[in-house]
Structure 1
Amino acid sequence: MIEFSIPSRHTLKINHVVFDFNGTLAIDGILVDGVAEKINLLANQVTFHVITADTYGNVAQQLTGINCQLYNLSQNKQFTDKLAYIEHLGTQQCICVGNGFNDREMLQHAGLGIALVQQEGCYMPTLMAADIACHSVLDVFGFLEKPARLLATLRV
């Protein structure tokens, strides 16, 4: 667990970091350089999840050797959408990261929602549903490694 005490607001107790894949961890279906190393480095503190519709059909191959749980919406029907998945985990225990139409509700209901505006862009209602917007997925790992960055952004 990673705990963030945000002055004049609340304390986040994060057990799960849930990522969309395409446009978030990957650009054009290819994992962003540095992501695998960051996940494997921080996996002893939180559980990483990747939830995707797998647009390019290669998510399992791209995540080989990475310490994360993969949930493919196009193959597994236990959860019908990303919000249902994080409700199962406990929404307030999750940092959720995404950029697409199907990420909006997940970001809106997460303990902390982070929208990414990388090369594939970001659906505007998803951006507005997030608590924070970043321009690189590596920035998200920076929050986990250096919590003061998050505090400076969210404090009252």
Structure 2
Amino acid sequence: MIVEIPGRETLEIKDIVFDYNGTIAIDGKLIGDVSKNINELSSSFNFYVITADTYGTVKKELENTNCKVITIPALSQDMAKLNFVKELGLNTCLSVGNGRNDKLMLKETILGIAILQDEGLCTETLLNSDILVKSIFDVFAFLKDSNRLIATLRN
């Protein structure tokens, strides 16, 4: 996806990195229709879910979803997430999260989206993001219609 945004650099998005809990899942359970949306968009983007898997449910919940699950250790999660997006390439990666451990990846990727759903949003993460959304489905809407990104980010 290439998006030309007036007054800002052109975005080329290849990789989408989602935090799990609070972002695409609530209390360890995948939010309804997340898998369907990822599967619909997986021919256009590479999807990754990065998590410490607090509830131990991520692999089962995502077993029929076209994404790669990255499990990280419980310690230094913010650095593990940052290092992962650096490996993918910061200039073509969109990241989405809500927790304090997401703040670095949201700050450094070409586009960082903070999400405020049932599990809340860390203020530091919000301040490191480019966009705030109220639902994971708002992120999918951006990916399906780049005009929404343009309207939100243009100068």
TM-score tier after normalising by the smaller chain length: over 0.9
Aligned to 2:85: 86
**Alpha-carbon distance in structure 2 between the residues aligned to 1:14 and 1:149:** 15
Give the 3-state SS of the residue equivalent to 2:118 in structure 1.
Answer: coil
Identity value in percent: 46
Which contiguous aligned blocks of 4+ residues in structure 1 show a shift greater than 4 angstroms?
Answer: none
Question: Which amino acid in the other structure matches residue 42 of structure 1?
Answer: L
Aligned to 1:48: 47
Aligned to 1:8: 7
**Alpha-carbon distance in structure 1 between the residues aligned to 2:140 and 2:65:** 15
Unaligned runs of 5+ in 1: none
Aligned to 2:152: 153
Give matches, 1:111-122, under 5 Å: 111-122=110-121
1:60 aligns with 2:85: no
**Alpha-carbon distance in structure 1 between the residues aligned to 2:5 and 2:153:** 7
Question: Which amino acid in the other structure matches residue 21 of structure 1?
Answer: Y
**Alpha-carbon distance in structure 2 between the residues aligned to 1:121 and 1:92:** 28
Give matches, 1:130-149, under 5 Å: 130-149=129-148
Post-superposition CA distance 1:110-132 (Å, at most 9, x none): 10000000000001000110000
CA apart distance, 1:74: 2.9
Give the 3-state SS of the residue equivalent to 2:96 in structure 1.
Answer: strand
Aligned to 2:32: 33
Give the 3-state SS of the residue equivalent to 2:44 in structure 1.
Answer: coil
1:17 aligns with 2:4: no
After TM superposition, the score normalised by the length of structure 1 is 0.95
CA apart distance, 1:50: 0.3
**Alpha-carbon distance in structure 2 between the residues aligned to 1:128 and 1:28:** 24
Give the 3-state SS of the residue equivalent to 1:92 in structure 2.
Answer: helix
